[in-house]
Structure formats: structure tokens, C-alpha cells
Structure 1
Amino acid sequence: MTTTKYPTLIPRFLRYVKINTRSDENSTTIPSSEREVKFLQQLVTELKEIGLTDAVYHDDNGYVTATIPSNIDRTVPTIGFLAHVDTADFNAEGVNPQIVKNYDGHSVIPLDKKGEYTLDPKDFPALKKYQGHTLITTDGSTLLGSDDKSGVAEIFSLVEYLLAHPEIEHGDIRIGFGPDEEIGTGADHFKVPRFNADFAYTVDGGPLGQLEYETFSAAALHVDIKGKNVHPSTAYHTMINAIQLGIDYQNALPQNEVPEETKDREGFFHLLSFNGTPDHAELDYIIRDFERSGLTARKEKAQAIADQLNSQLDEPRVTVEMHDQYYNMIDVMKDHMDVVKLAEQAMHNLDITPDETPVRGGTDGSKISFMGLPTPNLFAGGENMHGRFEFVSEQTMAQAVDVLVEIVKLNAADH
């Protein structure tokens, strides 16, 4: 299998990943980084160049939208395809993609020149699935950015293919590229009425066949600890070390309910950062559970630990702040399984086996579905995302475009 059916797919992807579009969780702007704005505005120009004249960048939410106009005289549901442009919190400056042609499925792939970092099938057994594929990897110093530059490039190839093949019947198709998915804020500002689609798909998944419509429910937890710092020489029964309180808080959480000890449908508490001095400390967590009731129980546990610690202190010194981030999209998708079945049929028609394993994470589609637009997630091809071991198969990226085209065909044929 080759990617010649979509000749700009890989060149566009390679060009895009070299552009740093990392989001900034400490920012209060929309989008969170100016580099995202510049890239999104660049996408508007490129969409217009390939023929989507209504492409526009929306200043109020950082989304780019455009339309492939219907080429038939009957009414069919309007599909949306969405991808995000930002990359995760790993080095994204100086991305230097490496090409491994006709991978044999068992060799160790060196990433950097010193050989310090490698893709070894012993560590990453998924490599064995890619015998005969052309792989795109990092050089070991950055992430790749397949999450979600693969999705962006694949949607562009869908647009180009449909415009070049007017014999393929379709209704209106809405295109969207957004910011800040990796910091969990981009979809908060998505405008469902303005997007004007009947249903949508995010093209933001991983390996071949992923079709995701069940996610974690999620909350963020911030723990603020006020210590009492005095000189160690006079600290006896006086000092209250905020760092030690932070350690006590962490140790009071269930030690086996962490990402590295959980799988399948098990939830967790994940400590993201711990900073402090004896005078003041802060801990940041994410809390995840597939069940809304489970998320609530975990939040109650987080508060109860703070209450217990405070009960032993001279005054309340441990404060927790929590906010929900997104909920399991199955709560919405269970009433819109026709959208899932359309994608299932498209994959079956292409001899791709759908993998509908629940996502141990979330997507923009989680929030957008709860806004009233059913939006499951489709594979884009990436493996080992968010770090130096990330890679993607050229052939899988082409198959992702095949699925998008097939969804469009089936949607028109069914109406």
C-alpha cells in the first residue's frame, strides 16, 4: 500500500510537525500561545488556496472553520471533521522527523545519533504490526506532533481528494481546526451553532481502527498547603513543614490507584507536579474515572484527606480546589449510535477492524458531544504520543483518509 492516492499527505504532515505549536497551560489567552494563532491563520490561507473560499479564523475562540459545499441537490446530514493543532507538554522546538522505509517489524530503530534513545520492539511491541510500513519517527530530542498534526494533514487530504473527485457525491462537510486540546481548554470555547453540523468526528485517535466513543470523566485537583517556617534550631513543636504535609497528603491517597498501576476501566489519581518550601507547597493532580459516581467518590476522597490533615493542625492549612474537566461521552453517544455505526461500516468496507476500546483519556469530542454535537473520535495513526518515542505509519495515515472519504460516501448514499 502506498500514499500516492493522497500525494500531499506526508509532505504536508512533515512540514506541519516542524512548526512549534505547543500550547501553554499557564496562559490565560485564547488560544494559549501566539504560535498556535500564527499556525491557525496559516491554515486559513492554505484552505483558501485549495478551494475552500469561506475559510476563516475566529478570534473569539481560536477555531478555523471552512466548508466543502454540497455537490448534490438533495438534503443529507452535514458532517463535521475536527482536529487540534497544539502539541503536548514535551519539547516541540526543532522537530526533525526521521523516515524509516520498509520497516522489517523486528529491528531496533535508533532515534538519536548517539543511540541513547531507540524504538525497540521489546519496549514497544506495537512496532511488530508495522512490517513493510514506512515509519516517521523523532530524532530523540522532541515529540513528533502526530497528535494531532496527523489529523490536520489527513483532513486536508480529504478536502483535496473530494475537490479533485466531484463524482463522489456528498452534502455539506464542515472542517474545523482548534487550539489547546492538550491543556483541556480549547473545546470550552467551541461554537456548535456556528459550526452548523449535524454530527462530527474528531480525527485525533491513535493506531489503525480506533473508534472511540467512551472516555474517562475527569477533574483537576489543586492542593495548596500553608506551612509555618521557623529556624530549624527553634523548630521543636513549632515548625509545620508544608513539604511534609504535601507528602502526607500524597501518601494518604490510594497508592495503587495511579496510572502506572491501573488499566482497562480502572480510574486513578495522577500527581502532575509537587512544588514547595517548608513555608508553602502546591500539588496538582488529575482525577479520572469512567463512571460519574466514581469521579464524585474520588473528589470526596480528596477533600476528606484534606479535612483529616487539618483536624490535626493548629488551623486549616490544607486547601483543595477541584473542577470538572469533561465527562464520559458515552452519556451522550448512547443516544446517537448511528454516528458510530456509520464509522464502523466505513471501516468494515475498507477491511479495517474497528477497535472500540474505551479511551483512558479524553478528546475534544467529549466536551463537544455534551454541547449538543455528537462527536466520536477516529484514528489518526500516532503511536507513543506526547514524547520522544512517538511515531506514525505513512500507510496508516493514508488509511485514515480512506475512512474519512468512505464516511462521506456512505452518508450521502444513505440519504
Structure 2
Amino acid sequence: MTDQLPDVAQRFLRYVQVDSPGDPDAPEDRVPSLPQQHDMARLLAEELAALGCDNVATDEHAYVTAAVPASPGAEAAEPLALIAHIDVSHDVPNTGVKPQVTLYEGGALGMGDLTVLPDEVPTLAAYAGGLVITSDGTTLLSADDKAGVAEIMALVARIAENPELPHPPLRIAFVPDEEIGHGASLLDLDAFGAAYAYTVDGGPVGEISYECFNAVGADVTITGSVVHPGDAKHRMVNALTLWRQLDAMLPQDERPENTEGYEGYFHCTNLTGDCGEVRAHYILRDFDAAGMAHRRVLLETAAGYLNEKYGTGRVSVAFHEEYCNMAEHLTDVPFLVDNALAATRACGVEPQVRAIRGGTDGAQLTFRGLPCPNLGTGGALCHSLREFVPVRALEAVTDILQDLVARFV
């Protein structure tokens, strides 16, 4: 069956079987966070070179870049970039992926001992009668973002086969460690030479995103006073108790499990410690800059209250910026979204403009001066063992990309 699949699906099946995990606990200066990402980078560089791309390069950080010459007559157009990431989520087992190709006949979609029901993913029913790719249920599939990688590569292959397809000079980049917040931060934009870009990363076919969270990380350190519990009255300060109090002072209805749409949140992602010391990591998310400022004040106020009650210096909070809402910088280039909308409709898909309740490489690149909305890949239930992608979705996104690049000639 697999040898009869379209090129984009064959590429996807090949890529998901190349392990490229990231390590969220790696030192920030270690890029990629795990060396297996070099395997994926080398494979893509080899394929780009075989397709006749110019300036194919992969560096010591597992960044892959290449240039595709413009179609005849479009040489003067401004270069456009397509970008995806090669690492995969660490939320569930992510190595040794064994992709399965299933003829989906409607109802429950199975993958090993797991199933997905159409009620859970409304788009699933539309693919009845077609082929769907899943894992075997023991790992993620890694459609996020190897579906995006495959779709970009399939477009490059189409152009290599037919250079007359209208397109401006194209710049291609595949980057490491997006899932742990590093992403495209080391991409040399001057050398890359693109005027505009799109990331192809997650979401249903036709999804277009140019808004994302403002994102801040907060490291909370709580210092207790340890004495024998039999002689602790008025003497012990239990750091675990202080953390429970601090967490309870944050709005309980503003947690990820209680929010949607444009609602922001506080999220404690990691907690370590004991009676003597607790370290907690929070992520703060808000679409509005003023809302984010308010969240920081709430956390600082909670820490200040505990310091006043239990003694100065008990609780400290260190904030660090992660990314900002890219909408602030994309309003000056509305044609990027307009072209994506037009290309999606031209391919028979009704576009869905959605704010990203997360971040993409596009947010970081936009703030670095490369305007970069995000396009969906057709994958569903990403970061889970039940992740899947229909073959028709992979083809549809490749078609959208082909129409999209033609609009920049």
C-alpha cells in the first residue's frame, strides 16, 4: 500500500521513523538538545541537494537551510521562506515510531489499543473512505511537525519536477528544538535572505494563525526553616506549605484546564523540593500585553504577601520572557494573511483563522524582523499517543503551499 501513496505521504512515513527527540532539561546553550536531531537534519539536507536546491547547508546546531531558484520571470520577486521544525514533543514516548496506514471507513479510528471517535475530532468524519496515518499507539506519530516538513519537501519536489510552476525565490529552513522553546533563535536571518515567511506547524487543514500568546516563564524559589517536627510550633516554616498557599492565591479559574479561546492562564509545570526548599516553574500566558503585566503583578503580590507573613526573602520570583504576540508586528503586512486565505479557498478549503494558544517559531521570527504567520499541517491530537494525519490532508496542505507561493510572483 505504501508504495502507492502520494509523494508527501511517503516522505512523512520516512521522516517519522527517524528519531529526533528534544530534551527540555538540557542546558540552554546545548543546541540541539539531543544529538539525534542531527540525523533528521542530515537526511533533509541530502534530499534537498538531490532535488537541486542551491546553498544547501546543515550546521553544528542541526539547522538545515536551502534556496530554491525562482520560476522563469520571477527572479526579481522578494524571497519567501517556508519553515518547519524537526524535533518532536516530549509529552509522551517519542522514539521508535511505527507508523500505520489505515483505510478509515468511519466511526472509531484505531491505533493499537487506542481509539479516536469523530465526536472528539469533528474533522475526522470528513476523511471516511480515505487513508489515515497513525502510530501503533505506543508512541506519538510526530505529525507535529514532521507533517509540515513533509509538505514543504513535497512542494520542493514538485518544483524540481516542474520548474515552471510559478514561485518567487524560496528559502527553506528546518530548525531544531521548537518544542522546548529554542526553535529558530539561531537562524541567521541576514544570511537566510527571506523577506517574508510562513511556518507550517500543527493544526487542521486551512488553519491560519497570526496571533499567539504573550509568554513569560516564572521561577519561584521558596525557602523554609527546618526543625524537628516534634518541636516545630512557631519555629518551623514548611516550604511546601508556603507553595500551596502561593498557588492557591492565583486565580483558580485561570488554569489551562479551565480556559479556551483568548483566555490566558497560570500553569505550574514543574515542582521539586521538600520542607526546606521548593522550586516551582510557572508559565504565564496572555494574548494582551496589559493582561500579561497584570499576571506578573498577581504572582509578585502573592510572593510579597508570604514574605510579609513569614519573613523577608522566603519567596523569590524570577521572570523571563519567552515570546510575544506576533499580531503586533503583522498588521503592517496584511497581504501575508490575505494570500494565505486566498490560496486556501482556491484549493477548495474554507480557511479557519485562529489564535494560537501556544507559540511557534513564527512568533520569534516575527519579532526578529521576519514576518511569519503559521499554517496548519492537517495533523490532529498532536503531542498524544492518538495523534493522526489523513493522507488527503497532507496532499491538501501541499496544494495550498503551491498556490500560496504563486501569489508572491
TM-score normalised by the chain length of structure 1: 0.93
Shift of 1:53: 4.1
Once the two structures are overlaid, the 10-residue window that deviates more, 322-331 or 272-281, is 272-281
Q: Are 1:3 and 1:9, in contact at CA under 8 Å, matched by a contact in 2?
A: no
* Secondary structure of the structure 1 residue equivalent to 2:153: helix
Structure-2 separation of matches of 1:401 and 1:193:
27
In structure 2, the partner of 1:10 is 9
> Per the alignment, do residues 317 and 82 of structure 1 end up closer, same or farther by CA in structure 2, a change over 3 Å counting?
same
Q: Point out the more displaced range, 287-296 or 88-97.
A: 88-97
- Is 1:176 aligned with 2:176? no
Residue 326 of structure 1 aligns with an amino acid whose one-letter code is: Y
The alignment status of 1:223 with 2:223, answered yes or no, reads no
Whole-Å Cα distance in 1 between the matches of residues 101 and 370 of structure 2? 38
2:370 to 368, 373, 381: 373
1:119 counterpart letter in structure 2: V
Deviations 1:174-196 (A, max 9, x none): 10000111111122222221110
Tell me the residue number matched to 1:327. 324
Matches of 2:137 and 2:19, distance apart in 1:
16
Asked if structure 1 preserves the Cα contact closer than 8 Å seen for 2:168 and 2:406, the reply is no
Instruction: Answer whether contact 2:144 2:382 (CA < 8 A) is retained.
Output: yes
CA distance in 2, matches of 1:404, 1:356: 16
Q: Normalising by the residue count of structure 2, what TM-score does the alignment of the two structures yield?
A: 0.95
State yes or no: 1:271 paired with 2:268.
yes
Q: Counterpart amino acid of 1:43?
A: L
Deviation of residue 3 (structure 1)?
11
Q: What's the CA shift for 1:351?
A: 1.5
Structure 1 residue identity aligned to 2:231: T
1:129 Cα offset (Å) = 3.2
Amino acid at match of 2:25: N
CA contact (8 A) 2:218 2:284 kept: yes
**In the TM superposition, what are the counterparts of 1:209-248 in structure 2 within 5 Å?**
209-248=206-245
Moved more, 222-231 or 199-208: 222-231
Partner letter of residue 341 of structure 2? E
Match of residue 281 from structure 2: 284
Aligned to 2:309, the other structure's residue is in SS state coil
Return the alpha-carbon distance in structure 1 between the equivalents of residues 2 and 214 of structure 2.
Answer: 37
Letter in 2 for 1:99: V
Q: Is the 8 A contact 1:137 1:390 kept in 2?
A: yes
Which of 249, 252, 277 is residue 252 of structure 1 equivalent to? 249
Displacement of 1:38 = 2.6
Report what 1:70 is aligned to.
Answer: 70
Deviations along 1:366-393, one digit per CA (max 9) or x if unpaired, are 0101111110001111111111121111
Give the match's secondary structure for 1:254. coil
SS at match of 1:83: strand
User: How far off is 1:321 after superposition?
Assistant: 1.1
| 1:97 alignment counterpart | 99
Q: Name 1:194's counterpart in structure 2.
A: 191
Deviation at 1:199, TM superposition (A): 0.4
Structure 2 gap ranges (5+): none
Query: What is the aligned partner in structure 1 of residue 51 from structure 2?
Result: 50
Q: Structure 1 residue aligned with 2:126, among 126, 129, 144?
A: 129
Residues 214-257 of structure 1: CA deviation (Å, up to 9, x unaligned) = 11111111111112222222222222111111111111110000
SS in 2 for 1:301: helix
Structure 1 unaligned regions, length at least 5? none
Aligned AA for 2:171? Answer: R
**Hey, what's the Cα distance between the residues in 2 that align with 1:3 and 1:374?**
37
* Equivalent in the alignment of 1:302: 299
| Structure 1 residue 37: Cα displacement | 2.1
Give 2:81's aligned amino acid. Answer: G
Query: Which residue matches 1:26?
Result: 25
Which secondary structure state, in structure 2, belongs to the residue aligned with residue 388 of structure 1?
Answer: coil
What is the DSSP-based 3-state SS (H/G/I as helix, E as strand, rest coil) of the residue aligned with 1:272?
A: strand
Q: 1:162 deviation in Å?
A: 0.5
Q: Residue 313 of structure 2 aligns to which amino acid in structure 1?
A: P
Residue 272 of structure 2 aligns to a residue whose secondary structure is strand
SS of corresponding position for 1:55:
strand
Deviation at 1:79, TM superposition (A): 0.9
Alpha-carbon distance between aligned partners in 2 of 1:285 and 1:129, rounded to the nearest angstrom: 39
Distance 1:343 1:6, change over 3 A: farther
CA-based RMSD of the aligned residues comes to 1.9
SS at match of 2:375: strand
User: In the alignment, what sits opposite 1:348?
Assistant: 345
Residue identity opposite 1:357 in structure 2: R
Q: 1:89-128 CA distances to partner (integer Å, 9 max, x unpaired)?
A: 2211221222221x233x223322xx3x321234444423
Return 309-318 or 377-386, whichever deviates more. 309-318
* In 2, Cα distance between equivalents of 1:387 and 1:34: 23
Q: Conserved in 1, the CA contact under 8 Å of 2:215 and 2:285?
A: yes
CA distance in 1, matches of 2:5, 2:123: 25
Percent identical among aligned pairs is 37
Structure 1 distance, partners of 2:140, 2:5, is: 25
Q: 2:313 aligns with which of 312, 316, 330?
A: 316
Question: Whole-Å Cα distance in 1 between the matches of residues 71 and 4 of structure 2?
Answer: 22
Paired letter, 1:373: L
Distance, in Å, in 2 between the alignment partners of 1:315 and 1:372 is 42
SS of residue paired to 1:392: strand
Deviation, structure 1 residue 317: 1.3
Q: What is the CA-CA distance between 1:4 and the residue it aligns to?
A: 9.8
Deviates more, 1:19-28 or 1:377-386: 19-28
- Amino acid paired to 2:87: D
Residue 36 (structure 1) aligns with: 37
Name whichever of 65-74 and 341-350 sits farther off. Answer: 65-74
SS of equivalent to 1:182: helix
Instruction: Report the secondary structure of 2:358's partner residue.
Output: coil
Equivalent residue runs for 1:146-165 within 5 Å: 146-165=143-162
Partner of 1:111: 111
In 2, Cα distance between equivalents of 1:124 and 1:393: 12
